[in-house]
Structure 1
C-alpha cells in the first residue's frame, strides 16, 4: 500500500479544493473571453483576413495577439449510419476508446 487511509483522505480533500479553484479560474476565463470576443466583434480596426483570405477578427496587443475566426465541425448521426451500414461494415469504421475514470464525490 502506497499511502495510509489518513493520507488518502487528505489527498481527496486536496483534489476537491483544486477542483474548486480550477472551476473558479475557468469561470473567470470564460468571462474574460466574452469581453475579448465582444471587443473583437465591435471594433472596426479588428477586421482582417487570414492566410487563406477568409475574414477574421484580430487584435495585436503589447504581448499577445487575439484572433477570432469561424471554424466548422462536422458531426454524424450514429443511429442513421447504423441504419445504412451492416453491423460488420459499421464495426470497420467505428472506433471505441477506453480510459480510466476517477470520480471523487
Structure 2
C-alpha cells in the first residue's frame, strides 16, 4: 500500500481563491477518497495544505495525477503563477513487525 501526498503551498494574498478552487476540484473527484489537510506550523511562508490518499498500487497514483494534480498545476500556472506551487511524494507502507 502507498500513501500519496500532494503538498500545496499558497501565498496569503491568494490563499482563499486557491483553496476554494482546490475544494471544488476535490468534490469533483470524491470517488477517490482524497483527504484535505492543513499543515499546522509549516516552515513555509503562507499556507500549506496536503491532499492525501491511500492506494493499493502505483497505477492508482497515476490516475490521481491525471485527474487532480495536472489540473491543479495548470490552474496555478494560469492564475497564480509564483504565488502557489505544489510538490508530490509517494510513501510505501512497510511492516515494522
How would you bin the TM-score normalised by the shorter chain? under 0.3
Rg comparison, structure with higher value:
1
Higher RCO by CA contacts (8 Å cutoff, separation 6 or greater): 2
Larger fraction in strand: 2
